[in-house]
Amino acid sequence: MSSETNFNISSLGANTFSSPINLSKTTGDKIFNFVEEHDRILADVSLESFNTCIENKTSPACLEKAGPREKLFFDSKKTTAAIVSCGGLCPGINNVIRGLVMALHYFYGVKRILGVQYGYEGLIPENGHEFIDLVPDKVKDIHEFGGTILGSSRGAQSVEKMVDSLVKNKIDLLFTIGGDGTLKGANAIGDEIEKRGLDISIIGIPKTIDNDIDLIDKSFGFETSFDVASPIIRDAHNEATGAFNGISIVKLMGRDSGFIAASTAIAMPVVNFVFVPEMDFQLEGENGFLEALKKRLNQKRHAVIVVAEGAGQHLFGEDSKTYTDASGNIIHQDIGLLLKHRIKAYFDAEDMKCTIKYIDPSYIIRSAPANANDSLFCNRLAYHAVHGAMAGKTKFVVGRLNNKFVYLPILKVVNKRKKINMEGEFWFSVLQSTGQPFTM
């Protein structure tokens, strides 16, 4: 990461209000200290990066440390906040909503908190989605359930109309919970607000079950995804071992990045083959998958295959039709079914008996409630998002980098998707766990 990278966060103006949170500025008094504006976290903690900065006499790329500030931009007693969730479901959305409401209400005394229904659609009055008043009693138990109490939707809406709605309802803070498209929309809303000279803060909490948001260590819901997938893999393994030459194919989520499939394989080490979108694998030939599968069956008489939904799209041919969802994301063709049909045809031609089971639990996984570790993570993200918002920061996301919570400009995390490094230690761990050929 270049030392010239600019991670500066936009601010609405000078902070003149004292925080109602009674924290400290003294080290050693056993009370948490306010975070200073000059507190920074290194973006790259490698020795190589350090030495490069020394040699070039440059400052390292740094990010703002997340946390409560002593001085605030907003007068908390007169502040109105709104929360919106967009895109596909993901474990932990309700946890984030609950954390935001609790932090706004109890930390800062914000009394008016609005829930925007059905994604950005809810900011367009013509759609008829009324706001919901969010108070602690309404949200205190929602972390026990999957999904989102606010509802969600995909697709772009008029930025101008959304900002008009914020102004009409005197909303000072808009917390957006969503992935790549949601965050780009949030940044566009922030640009329109800036153009109009308004004092409204726009905050992003990155949500993607695929863990493909760039720069940050992980996104919430990701750990729950492979936690929920693990017993499914166990059952798929039981199915496979219950038949002569039994084969179980499990398709997991992962449109452009294969972190769920790869992590599940390591967490549940009965998986023999993993296919992710980052791979360019072939079915036929000496080093192809089908030959490797045949060797596996001849040795062990069963096999478990995990495939990410975006893997192997090159196998469908250039003539296959391409469709997109309302957010503009490519809807991938079913690689699980293709593998099932090609495996059957291959072993039929070999006159080799096999039993194939295909399992797609994707929607069950993404609708599950967050596990304990994700719940912890969601709450901390929510708290840090509120602290940054009350300090007048805008067009930023909160995330964890190098195990530290930081604020990042929205535009820095939506430039590209995070992907598995096929030469990295993580993927090497997958290969070691599965035993699949390195050259496949």
- Residue 88 annotated as binding site: yes
For 106-116, b where at least 16 C-beta lie within 10 A, e where not — what string? ebbebebbbbb
Catalytic residue among 210, 227, 256, 374: 210
- Residue 112 annotated as binding site: no
Directed axis angle between helix 259-267 and helix 222-241, to 10°?
60
- Residue 364 annotated as binding site: yes
- Residue 146 annotated as binding site: no
Question: Does the annotation count 210 as an active-site position?
Answer: yes
Q: Three-state DSSP class for 252?
A: strand
Distance CA 64, CA 37 (A): 7
Distance CA 361, CA 367 (A): 10
- Residue 255 annotated as binding site: yes
- Residue 200 annotated as binding site: no
- Residue 366 annotated as binding site: yes
- Residue 182 annotated as binding site: yes
Distance CA 152, CA 135 (A): 20
**Closest residue by Cα to residue 411 from 263, 214, 127:** 214
H/E stretch holding 366:
helix 362-366
Q: Three-state DSSP class for 316?
A: helix
- Residue 253 annotated as binding site: yes
**Closest residue by Cα to residue 383 from 403, 401, 398, 402:** 398
- Residue 223 annotated as binding site: no
- Residue 179 annotated as binding site: yes
Q: Three-state DSSP class for 226?
A: helix
- Residue 181 annotated as binding site: yes
Q: Give me the helices (H) in 62-105, please.
A: 93-102
How many Cβ atoms are within 10 Å of 221's Cβ, its own excluded?
A: 28
- 85 touches 118 (CB < 8 A): no
> For residue 400, what are the β-bridge partners?
405
Distance CA 421, CA 388 (A): 32
- Residue 154 annotated as binding site: yes
| CA-to-CA dists, residue 321 to 257, 310, 317, 332, angstroms | 21, 15, 9, 10
**Closest residue by Cα to residue 119 from 71, 177, 66, 67:** 177
Count helices and strands in the chain by DSSP H and E runs: 13, 19
Distance CA 393, CA 87 (A): 24
- 106 touches 73 (CB < 8 A): no
- 247 touches 343 (CB < 8 A): yes
The strand pair at 10-11 and 393-394 is best described as: antiparallel
**Which residues are marked as active site?**
210
Binding-site residues for ATP, in ranges, read 88, 154-155, 179-182
Binding-site residues for Mg(2+), in ranges, read 180
Binding-site residues, in ranges, read 88, 154-155, 179-182, 208-210, 253-255, 309, 363-366
Binding-site residues for substrate, in ranges, read 208-210, 253-255, 309, 363-366
